[in-house]
Amino acid sequence: MATNEGLVEARGLVKEYDSGRRRVVENVSFTIRRGETLGLVGESGSGKSTVARMLLRLVEPTSGEVLYGEQDLLAMSLRETREMRRRMQIVFQDPYSALNPRMRVRDILAEPFMIHDERPMEGLATRLAEMLLTVGLDSSALDRFPHEFSGGQRQRINIARALALKPEFVVLDEPVSALDVSVGAQVVNLLRDLQQTYGLTYLFISHSMPLVRYLCDRVAVMQRGRLVELGDSEQVCGASRDVYTQRLIAATPEMPTAG
């Protein structure tokens, strides 16, 4: 359940390339409340994925601040950042390229534990089987390779890996855009169930306003690197007066969700 307590905050984020000649993010500020899903929407090239990567410190901002609770992420050492990444994870858009084709699922899911030198209390094998069950797969998947799964199944494996170390905050970078409508709807509903079960906080990146309206508590709209609208999802998606937001709504009239 969402609260008014801020978990992640962006303050005046700017990102420039080519020695300042190309600015892709311009003074973006917002807060993600604990337990909520904030939708970050915009056309391709609007800067939304760059903002998300700056929040995770996968991309260094040119200027601005990123706070996680009361902690300044940009002031952290590499060791401190590595430790913080246990609490922050990302699910990428393409379920095919996000998985190493030469690794079995068992090794893919075990990798976070190896990187952070952690052994689950219940034993690694038991934990891996539980992770798969959580996303709707069974333990028979552990000894198979990524090419043996459908796109939707691969994305479920990506989600399981992201949740391995029990993070608080997960960036979902267009996690269903590479899937067909019915499969994407199943993944979206899985994400909702996981949030309710584990109290997760999401940043959900998308270009689909109807999908964001279905999944998100609040919506931030980006255009050409700037934040042009921020508010409750029903208000932004159902009664926005912003011309750009209205254009995004009109571009995706069908809501790819299902029960």
The residue ranges of the chain whose pLDDT is under 70 are 1, 253-259
255 Cβ neighbours under 8 A, 6+ residues apart: 210, 211, 213, 214
pTM of the model: 0.92
Give the model confidence (pLDDT) of 172-221 as tens digits: 999 998 888 889 999 999 999 999 999 999 999 998 888 899 999 999 99
Please give the Cα distance from 19 to 39 (Å, whole number): 30
User: Sign of the C-alpha dihedral, residues 177, 152, 185, 174?
Assistant: negative
52 Cβ neighbours under 8 A, 6+ residues apart: 40, 90, 171, 173, 203, 205
Give the model confidence (pLDDT) of 53-79 as tens digits: 999 999 999 999 999 998 999 999 988
In terms of CATH, what superfamily is 6-87+168-251? P-loop containing nucleotide triphosphate hydrolases (3.40.50.300)
Identify the pLDDT of residue 171. Answer: 97
Identify the pLDDT of residue 253. Answer: 61
Identify the pLDDT of residue 255. Answer: 53
Q: Which two tokens stand for residue 255?
A: 């809501």
